[in-house]
Structure 1
Amino acid sequence: MNKLWKKLMAAVCCTTLVIGLSACGAKDSPAADKGSQAAEDAGKESMAENTGDSLLTEPGTYPIVTEPVTLKIMIMSKPYIEDYNTNDFTKYMEDLTGINLEIEAVSYEDSQEKINLAMAGGDYPDVFMTLEPDVVKYGVKEGMLIPLDDLIEKNMPNFMANASYTLDSIRQSDGKIYGLPSINEAYHVMYGNKMWMNSYKLNEMGLSVPTTTQEFYDVCKAYLEKNPNGVAIGDMNDNAAINWLMNAFILTPDDPHGSHDKTNSAKCIVSPDGKVISAATQPQFKEGLKYIKSLYDMGAFYEGNFSNTEDGLRSLINQDGEPVLFFPHLYSAKYIDSTASNEMYRHYEALSPVEGPEGVRVTPYYYNDGLYENRFVITDKCENPEVALRFIDWFYQPKSYVMAQYGTEEGVDYIWEPEGEVGVNGKPAMYTLLNGYTTDVQNHDWQVTSLFYGPSDVRLGESAAADLDKYDPTALEKFLYEETKEKMEPYAPKKGDYNILPIMHLTPEEQDEVAVPLVEVSNYIKESQVAFITGKMDIDKDWDSYVSQLDSLGLQQILDVYQQVIDR
């Protein structure tokens, strides 16, 4: 197992969480597909009874069951996946496992409300997958999510072989395991605060790539003077552009980053002396707001940024004439289809963090971002949790990472262990992709919504020949690796600097203590920074009352609890 993951797990062993899974029912089980190694092995062995339970075959063999079973799953949806229930990958998994999958897909934006309503009303699925039920509330406190401790070793040979060292790190405050993680050591996500720049437009105007806040301001001004209808900075309502610019003044993580770490919602960081503080109340943050307001006053921010949606930003970026000069995101292919709009895709590259007036030039390093906790949880509705665990165990293999995202047919969707190819990491390639990433609507695979087993050696094991065009749709990993290595990693915090929080295990009492303050503080910070930038609040006159209001909403309470957890 790769060294990076082991180091990561050692670092967060005492501070990491995991969520859970669900569900089981009935249907005819088709013949097993031999596409995965596990299925090939299964073809050589006859089905066997599992310690007296005639429902299950031998652990690690396929199909999983000897009689009809249905698994009801609630999963995160994406607009570019047509229908999970008729998807090619869903059909593959049903044929392989013998399990009928009944899938309800919900958007990330609506997921918390739908999960909470389902749990409160008692009408919840067998399994939540890639979603985020509150495992402390519904597992530790209320017992609606079942503990998995005694079931994992007996039913998950892939997980135990590839990730057994995570068992202690995924235990909750009561010592039990309620959920299984996605392992996604995406190098580029660990440096996730990126700004994408249309370098083609810059070259066209004869402008240099900005390296300071003043140069960034000057570039935006020059662009708008030449393109009065253009958009210097496009964004959406998560205010990622504000966070990116603020890192020229003080370390400011996304809120929340990567959708699986809620502790960043109060912009909490750890100071050089080990104290938990909120970046949003520091003098440097105030100065950052003044700079960002100067950009807004100049017209650099698109007027609809603060209410824009993901689809709205995508539509804006893809208008005729490429009107958007800068936009923030983990990767540009999220908004520009690398296949259908490859010429435009080539026009954008990552911009290194810019340096502020006090010499600050930093990007958050999310060192614990490889572990997405509680991505598979089983509820007490599931009659056969062993079936659910054996189903999800298939995903904990390197080959499964490729097949779930890009398709299951070797030679059409991917090539496994291509002869003579070299990976992004310089080692013999693990696989070559033939089916590139796309945001066009498709019904072929689950793409980024499946549970991942993507440690660093798998993510960087994608073939990347030295002469491979990094803007080729199949070269996304290489492109993001090179952009991150060159333009982001050099500006990560150093020892003794401000740093981000680790992922933390809170007790039920601690979680209850911060639950309401986190929501109210986060909302007030977001509302206030927009009000400061747009002039609805005066940065100098209203700053003290802003800080005082955060205290009254419970910011200090949050900081005290987080300090307690870190000290513990």
Structure 2
Amino acid sequence: MKKGLKKFLALGLSTVLAVGALAGCGTQGDSGKSGSAGKASGSTAGSASGVVLNDGGTYPVVKEGKLELSVFTMSMPNVQDFATNDFTKFLEEKTGIHINFVTAGRDEYEEKLNLLLQSGDYPDVILGGAPNLAKYGVKEGVIIPLDDYLTEKNVPNYLKIVANYDINKTKEADGKIYSLGGVNDCYHCQYARRMWVNQKYLKEMGVEIPTTTEEFKNVCKKFLEYKKGGIAVAGAAQGWHTRMQDWLMGSFTFVPSKSATLSARDYVVLNDETKKVETVAITDAYKAGLKYMNELYKMGAIYDGNFTQTSEQLRTLANQADAPILFFTAGVNSDVIDPESNNELYRNYVPVAPLKGPDGTQIAWTIRNSGFGSGGFCITDKCKNVEAALRWVDFFYNSPTGDLCSQYGAEEGKDWVLNPKGKVGLNGEPALYEVLNLYSSDPQNHDWQDVGLRVAPASYRLGQAVDPNVDPYSPAGLEKLLFDTSKNLYEPYANNTKLLNLSELKLTDEESTAVSTMAVELEKIIEENSVAFITGTKDIDAEWDSYKDAVNKAGIEEILKTYQTAYDRQTK
């Protein structure tokens, strides 16, 4: 368990060293473009730096001299300070490389990363979340291609992992590789759009968990009468699957997650039957879903803050002393209520299966891919020792210990154990490992948890030791709770649609430039109008046609055409 947690210290660009003050991937005084020493056949990092590396695949990475690495990554509320974190200290001792962090929160990550790259004052590497590689890699060369560096000498662990996946997924439109792939073959993540309900309130009201949209509406109505000032349906605009409107829309049509291609909510999907891309945002089914939510809103069931608040604000709301919420949406319930520090409230909330809509539609959102994709780790042209940077990050790919160390802490026997005798995994097979330092959403400074880089193949995720009789609502039962919820309540409804979440498409810079602004404007139009229709500030019947016209004028047809071209190019 995580004990003695310090008061949370928010991380941000304003609280860390500015990138310009950070030493590069060599010592101060190094000059020249990236890779000037990285391709050397020997072990030296280059005469300018005076750094000598050990043989590839061995630790520490640095044999002689001092080497610093500036790293841009995401900060999260439950990781207090990367600079003083126990895992950071372990990694520096392990590799001999000192890390200087530049961070941004989840809600501001993309914007701050783009600002840094546009300013020219950016770090050596980007860990866990790549920028637009068509622009900053293929076109501008800020992110360097890695093809020549991906050798057994530099990344033996990575190559071993990638052998089980399609490395072509990491190639950009020019056929080159600008990032290492991340692996998170997470079963419960495939069905992460989930709703949770306070079963204590249901019992006190004498009602069951709703199974249809009509039952859901009736339960909300009864709750508002039962608990004056209560919130029937809560969610958040920013957070991991916290958007309540997306979950409710599964009773009417399939709504995709944010575009993996343009990082915008363009509502574009792949029709699995025709293999054509299309939009759901102007369909009659989508309109019907909005009208249903308007009914909920008019009765006072939908909280206004759902459309603007962050996941942290949702967490604060849910943990109030009077527990005001009946239903809330979250990919992981522990992100909203901590299973350790607030277990009594935590165990009141149980999962809700997708609701059956008026015409029988009952869809569980899912993302169908292997859990492997590009963007896990990028190197910029500021880095003067590419080999060292790759050997540093290769530790994370040393499965399973790399991921265990970053997620739970680096002390074997205290944070985790391998091959625990007599234990079984989530899949019923002999367990590969047992976690001793259980996950907590409270602030801590022992490990990185879910930030940085995940390297978690399916066998690893399902190989975590779980007591078959564990209390699913104890801190130790989280993985089993999520697994069982996905298996029993969500997977059965995942194939009830021909529409699929569209995987990342590798656009050329020209294609991306042509449609990226359109995608931003399209998202604004769809999101603003959807909220207006739900809240009734716009009459959906009277203004639906003008809304569709605005979507068309924003360039939806051009976006669909560009996506189709890229999809056909990648799948031919």
TM-score by length of 2: 0.88
Letter in 1 for 2:58: T
Q: Distance in 2 between matches of 1:369 and 1:331?
A: 20
Q: Distance in 2 between matches of 1:265 and 1:132?
A: 18
**Structure 1 residues 458 and 264, CA, compared in 2 at 3 Å: closer, same or farther?**
farther
Matches within 5 A, 1:130-169: 130-153=128-151, 154-164=153-163, 165-169=165-169
User: 2:189 corresponds to which residue?
Assistant: 189
Q: Distance in 1 between matches of 2:495 and 2:485?
A: 18
Asked whether the 8 Å contact 1:50–1:58 carries over to 2, the reply is: no
Out of 408, 411, 426, the residue aligned to residue 410 of structure 2 is: 408
- Percentage of matched positions with identical amino acids: 41
1:65 aligns with 2:56: no
Cα deviation, residue 276, structure 1: 1.6
Q: Distance in 2 between matches of 1:180 and 1:58?
A: 21
User: 2:19 corresponds to which residue?
Assistant: none
**Structure 1 residues 276 and 371, CA, compared in 2 at 3 Å: closer, same or farther?**
same
Q: Distance in 2 between matches of 1:466 and 1:440?
A: 26
Q: Distance in 1 between matches of 2:150 and 2:532?
A: 50
Q: Distance in 1 between matches of 2:511 and 2:431?
A: 46
Out of 101, 115, 118, the residue aligned to residue 117 of structure 1 is: 115
Asked whether the 8 Å contact 2:262–2:516 carries over to 1, the reply is: no
Asked whether the 8 Å contact 1:281–1:547 carries over to 2, the reply is: yes
**Structure 1 residues 235 and 247, CA, compared in 2 at 3 Å: closer, same or farther?**
same
User: 1:104 corresponds to which residue?
Assistant: 102
Asked whether the 8 Å contact 1:235–1:241 carries over to 2, the reply is: yes
Q: After the TM superposition, which of the residue ranges 190-199 and 92-101 deviates more from structure 2?
A: 190-199
Please list every run of 5 or more consecutive structure 2 residues that lacks an aligned counterpart in the other structure.
1-22, 29-39, 46-51
Q: Distance in 2 between matches of 1:128 and 1:478?
A: 33
Q: Distance in 1 between matches of 2:82 and 2:185?
A: 25
User: 2:540 corresponds to which residue?
Assistant: 539
Q: Distance in 1 between matches of 2:223 and 2:517?
A: 43
Out of 420, 423, 426, the residue aligned to residue 418 of structure 1 is: 420
Q: Distance in 2 between matches of 1:423 and 1:325?
A: 33
Letter in 1 for 2:480: K
User: 1:436 corresponds to which residue?
Assistant: 438
Letter in 1 for 2:83: N
Cα deviation, residue 400, structure 1: 1.3
User: 1:459 corresponds to which residue?
Assistant: 461
Please list every run of 5 or more consecutive structure 1 residues that lacks an aligned counterpart in the other structure.
1-21, 28-48
Matches within 5 A, 1:240-389: 240-256=243-259, 262=262, 265-271=265-271, 272-368=273-369, 370-389=371-390
User: 1:51 corresponds to which residue?
Assistant: 42
**Structure 1 residues 504 and 180, CA, compared in 2 at 3 Å: closer, same or farther?**
same
User: 2:204 corresponds to which residue?
Assistant: 204
Asked whether the 8 Å contact 1:460–1:477 carries over to 2, the reply is: no
Letter in 2 for 1:207: V
Asked whether the 8 Å contact 1:431–1:463 carries over to 2, the reply is: yes
User: 2:3 corresponds to which residue?
Assistant: none
Matched residues, number: 522
Asked whether the 8 Å contact 1:331–1:480 carries over to 2, the reply is: yes
Asked whether the 8 Å contact 1:23–1:385 carries over to 2, the reply is: no
Cα deviation, residue 416, structure 1: 1.4
Offset from partner CA, 1:257-281 (integer Å, 9 cap, x none): xxx5646611111234333211110
Q: Equivalent residue of 1:146, what SS?
A: coil
Letter in 2 for 1:483: T
Cα deviation, residue 197, structure 1: 1.3
Q: Distance in 2 between matches of 1:557 and 1:329?
A: 33
Matches within 5 A, 1:381-530: 381-396=382-397, 397-494=399-496, 497-530=498-531
Asked whether the 8 Å contact 1:23–1:127 carries over to 2, the reply is: no
Q: Distance in 2 between matches of 1:274 and 1:216?
A: 34
Asked whether the 8 Å contact 2:261–2:505 carries over to 1, the reply is: no
1:86 aligns with 2:84: yes
Q: Distance in 2 between matches of 1:168 and 1:322?
A: 48
Q: Equivalent residue of 1:85, what SS?
A: helix
Cα deviation, residue 254, structure 1: 2.7
Q: After the TM superposition, which of the residue ranges 419-428 and 115-124 deviates more from structure 2?
A: 115-124
Q: Distance in 2 between matches of 1:352 and 1:284?
A: 20
Letter in 2 for 1:51: G
Q: Distance in 1 between matches of 2:130 and 2:330?
A: 22
TM-score by length of 1: 0.89
Q: Equivalent residue of 2:84, what SS?
A: coil
**Structure 1 residues 451 and 240, CA, compared in 2 at 3 Å: closer, same or farther?**
same
Q: Distance in 1 between matches of 2:280 and 2:384?
A: 47
Q: Output the aligned Cα RMSD.
A: 1.8
Asked whether the 8 Å contact 2:262–2:512 carries over to 1, the reply is: no
Cα deviation, residue 179, structure 1: 0.5
Letter in 1 for 2:250: N
Q: Equivalent residue of 1:277, what SS?
A: strand
Q: Distance in 1 between matches of 2:43 and 2:449?
A: 37
Cα deviation, residue 335, structure 1: 0.9
Cα deviation, residue 372, structure 1: 4.3
Q: Distance in 2 between matches of 1:385 and 1:540?
A: 58
Letter in 2 for 1:250: T
Q: Distance in 2 between matches of 1:85 and 1:275?
A: 47
Letter in 2 for 1:68: K
Q: Equivalent residue of 1:196, what SS?
A: strand
Q: Distance in 1 between matches of 2:321 and 2:155?
A: 51
Cα deviation, residue 446, structure 1: 0.3
User: 2:565 corresponds to which residue?
Assistant: 564
Q: Equivalent residue of 2:150, what SS?
A: helix
Offset from partner CA, 1:409-432 (integer Å, 9 cap, x none): 122111211011000011110111
Cα deviation, residue 302, structure 1: 1.2
Q: Distance in 1 between matches of 2:210 and 2:291?
A: 19
**Structure 1 residues 538 and 285, CA, compared in 2 at 3 Å: closer, same or farther?**
same
Offset from partner CA, 1:38-96 (integer Å, 9 cap, x none): xxxxxxxxxxx973536211111100012210000011000121110010000000000
User: 1:42 corresponds to which residue?
Assistant: none
User: 1:6 corresponds to which residue?
Assistant: none
**Structure 1 residues 131 and 370, CA, compared in 2 at 3 Å: closer, same or farther?**
same
Q: Distance in 1 between matches of 2:127 and 2:274?
A: 39
Letter in 1 for 2:472: K
Letter in 1 for 2:315: R
Letter in 2 for 1:534: T
Letter in 1 for 2:62: V
